[in-house]
Structure 1
Amino acid sequence: MAGLAPPTQIISAVTATRPMVEALFDELRGATLDHPGVTRAPYGEGEAFAHAMLARKARALGYEVSHDLALNTYVTLPGRDRSAPVLMTGSHLDSVPHGGNYDGAAGVVAGLAALQALRALCPQPERDVTVMAIRAEESVWFQVSYVGSRGAFGILPPAALDSATRIDSGRSLASHMADQGADVAALREGRRHLDPARIASFVELHIEQAPSLLEAGRPIAVGTGIPGNFRYPDITISGEQAHVGLPRRFRRDAALAGADFATGMDRIWEEHEAAGIPMATTIGRFHTDAALHGMTSVPGRFLMSLDVRAYDEAVLAALERRVLTMVAEIESRRGVRFDLGARASAPVGPVAPLVRECLERQAIAHGLDWQPLGSPASHDAATFAAMGVPMGMVFVRNANGSHNPDEAMDIDDLMAGITILAGWMLESATASTAG
């Protein structure tokens, strides 16, 4: 950090942003409260408020504000060399239904605070520094991953615009985007706003979504990677609806087939965990057909979803082969049929070594208590990595998990994360852009 502001000055500049940070979270919570928790549906009222709030605050602070075809919001501190690749940070502003106030939003608020600290220390950095507020990250709504970030790069699958429907309205993604003013026609054509070659690096700060930091007693972590995934959101198992008195040898029980599948997936996870291979599998929906089920009926139809994630593409491919093999075995043994439905996937998000080293260097220089940590969840930063942009992540301790109203991030912990972000910005944005 030779030649840069000493850690004490960076900490002082970050500390000065705390009133703004707290006020933004209070305003966001107050406007999107939906007991229990908050709801900021993508391309809906709550998310739109959050983006408008950020734009209003950023303009009042004197930053450049712009939007892209998918309505992502960009807040920029102009640099001396505006042709140089830009330094970027940010996260999403949508939430799950009745979620917490910090999931996603913490990264956007932290980005703005870090930008304020950077400007206090260096009013005109060598390159542009931009905070990106991303649309529609929470795939629960449309069952499509990374809508906003993929839209920014022009890689959102055109078919998803019409086939993906929002869970609360039943209307298409294209319809909701158009209502908010997005350029749906341009997105269909694959037009892009972000050019990977024009981005120096991207760092996303996010609350931790598992209790690892809480368990370790540390406020922050530097990310080591983001898992990729494959998903089958709408699996249907078809058997035969039958009378409760039917002997076992005649049954085609769809519910028991579902149970076999669930326990099989858990065995696969247990095997990988014992071998030291990180992965996770989640069956989020798991139920008989409410229109047909009853205490004295053998279930002929069973519905569920599957999410499988891992940090290595080869591991993911092998896991999917095992899933398909297991499905065939259960079909044969139980006399049922699986319809896996539409498949979705997201690539593994590798962290760039140089970005990770810089983030770790900032944590050490500022005397922060930190640890390396692999993300248990998917994040928009993975889209940047997939496009070849050097990517890194910072995680902030958060009690009670996320995707629920009881998120319990401490502002003190967030300020530590903002300190890392500000230090990374100062080091990376003040380096010469020549050559």
Structure 2
Amino acid sequence: MAQRRAFFSLFILLAVAGVHGDSTMKTMEKFSGYPPESDDAGDLGSLSFSVDNNSLERQIDELAGFSDTSAPSVTRIIYSKNDILARRYIKNLMGISGLSVREDAVGNIFGRWEGSHPELAPVATGSHIDAIPYSGKYDGVVGVLGALEAINALKRSGFQPKRSLDVIMFTSEEPTRFGISCLGSRLMAGDEALAQLLLGTVDSHNISFIEAARSAGYMMGQQELSSVFLDHGSYSSFVELHIEQGPILEEEGLSIGIVTAIAAPASIKVDFEGNGGHAGAVLMPSRNDAGLAAAELALAVEKHVLESGSLDTVGTVGIIELHPGAVNSIPSKSHIEIDTRDIDEERRNAVVEKIHQSAVKISKARGVKLLGFHIVNQDPPALAAESIIAAMSVASKQLNLSSKRMISRAYHDSLFVARISPMGMIFIPCYKGYSHKPEEYASIENISNGVKVLALTLAKLSHS
């Protein structure tokens, strides 16, 4: 029913797209700003914008209707039926906004507003719309629908971009179906190892990535994953609008977060093997308990992270699995998965090495085997470009919006786009910092503020 309502609303939008003007907008929040000086100041001048809050809020609700779970939760997994329907919805909105639309071999979607100097490297913005099981409706979505509304606001103002402006919807930022986060943006950044890995990757139902992509209309014919790769400098700059996914902005009563750096994780999988045995019959001095080895390593993770001396260093033990998993059986095997993050790559990697050293010591002290210490990924953090930070800061001041510089402890598609383009991020407050759960919420007022800052930032960057 939710899907039908969404399609009906979209049909109405399409029907009136060619005839309606600003007069059909019920609520248009006006604001004006002066993008910083440019080489072509005459084209910028004083820009008067209008953000259509009603339309933006409705689109967020409609997109949430494409879900494998019922409201208020959202579940939208890569190449699923609802993911395909949601993609169509985004492409239709891009068309309504007058953007030229293209898709690459894995389904990254690009909507372009061609500038007066299309030979120049374009400016890009965007995010993702996939959602982990039972999550909320704002993560990523604000950065896609908000980007489209920023473009619409610029168009309504009469602004003409010099550099073309692209809105990008990235494929599978969440590591759900195939266990790979930021799949689309990693490939765009030229990750050849990932392209090779995907050729043999299957999901929990033994459906290969290639098969799933083709079922959604991608990877057709002679298309290769390498066709997704973009050259360094393909974009002059990239800006992503996103909910904070943390409580800082809300707690401090601030409107805008200007991201200066994105922390990146190192993910680790560790396996221990002991002797096991009956919980009552094997005496304590004789035990080689793989479960206690995992528990001790979990405490070591916390210890090493705290020893770093920085609040920016974090570590999490998210998974501990014991075999055979019976209350009256000593664990003979244990599996532990660890996530460590920092904006300082050297400091984070030092923590990873200390965790490895502890795993070795624990295995020897407890008489268990360290079957494996596998670093799944060890992505480098990324710094935002000073030029983009400056543009976002000036935009916030011109709009009289309170702001602060901050880091992103969650990672985003921007982390990988930074490998091919200067990058920046705009954060807006979200309720209690909730994310990846149905209670995730951002007010339309805060979303609108983010759209305003994004619009002015894009205006500046397009004329740089």
TM-score by length of 1: 0.91
1:141 to 177, 202, 205: 177
User: For 1:84 and 1:390, how far apart are their aligned partners in 2?
Assistant: 15
1:247 to 283, 290, 293: 283
Partner of 2:197: 160
The verdict on how the C-alpha distance between 1:383 and 1:120 changes in structure 2, with shifts beyond 3 A counting, is: same
Consecutive unaligned residues in structure 1, runs of 5 or more: none
1:271 to 307, 311, 318: 307
Q: Share of identical aligned residues, percent? A: 26
The verdict on how the C-alpha distance between 1:304 and 1:164 changes in structure 2, with shifts beyond 3 A counting, is: farther
One-letter code of the match for 1:225? Answer: A
Partner of 1:95: 131
User: For 2:216 and 2:187, how far apart are their aligned partners in 1?
Assistant: 15
2:340 to 308, 333, 339: 308
Partner of 2:315: 281
Tell whether 2:449 aligns with 1:412.
no
User: For 2:343 and 2:312, how far apart are their aligned partners in 1?
Assistant: 7
User: For 1:399 and 1:160, how far apart are their aligned partners in 2?
Assistant: 38
CA contact (8 A) 2:188 2:417 kept: no
How far does the alpha carbon of each residue in 1:277-314 deviate from its partner, in whole angstroms, 9 at most, with x for none? 5121122212323xx22222111122221111111221
One-letter code of the match for 1:391? Answer: M
Shift of 1:162: 3.8
One-letter code of the match for 2:438? Answer: P
Shift of 1:163: 4.3
Give 1 or 2: higher strand fraction. 2
CA contact (8 A) 2:105 2:224 kept: no
How far does the alpha carbon of each residue in 1:146-196 deviate from its partner, in whole angstroms, 9 at most, with x for none? 2111222432523321444335x3433233222222227877562345333
Q: Which moved more, 1:25-34 or 1:100-109?
A: 25-34
1:325 to 357, 363, 370: 357
Shift of 1:212: 1.3
Partner of 2:18: none
Tell whether 2:260 aligns with 1:238.
no
Q: Secondary structure at the match of 1:47?
A: helix
Shift of 1:52: 1.0
2:399 to 366, 371, 375: 366
CA contact (8 A) 1:347 1:386 kept: no
Partner of 1:83: 119
CA RMSD of aligned residues (A): 2.0
Q: Secondary structure at the match of 1:199?
A: coil
CA contact (8 A) 2:126 2:147 kept: yes
User: For 1:244 and 1:61, how far apart are their aligned partners in 2?
Assistant: 66
Consecutive unaligned residues in structure 2, runs of 5 or more: 1-35
User: For 1:377 and 1:334, how far apart are their aligned partners in 2?
Assistant: 35
Shift of 1:123: 4.6
User: For 2:206 and 2:254, how far apart are their aligned partners in 1?
Assistant: 42
Instruction: Say how many residue pairs are matched.
Output: 419
CA contact (8 A) 1:70 1:152 kept: no
User: For 2:254 and 2:108, how far apart are their aligned partners in 1?
Assistant: 32
Partner of 1:126: 162
Tell whether 2:337 aligns with 1:337.
no
How far does the alpha carbon of each residue in 1:370-418 deviate from its partner, in whole angstroms, 9 at most, with x for none? 111110101010111123x110001111124211111011111011111
How far does the alpha carbon of each residue in 1:184-233 deviate from its partner, in whole angstroms, 9 at most, with x for none? 7877562345333221100111111111112212232010111122112x
2:53 to 18, 29, 32: 18
CA contact (8 A) 1:143 1:164 kept: no
Q: Secondary structure at the match of 2:258?
A: strand
Q: Which moved more, 1:292-301 or 1:410-419?
A: 292-301
User: For 1:398 and 1:125, how far apart are their aligned partners in 2?
Assistant: 31
User: For 1:196 and 1:158, how far apart are their aligned partners in 2?
Assistant: 18
CA contact (8 A) 1:145 1:346 kept: no
How far does the alpha carbon of each residue in 1:307-350 deviate from its partner, in whole angstroms, 9 at most, with x for none? 11111221122122112111101111112223234622322111
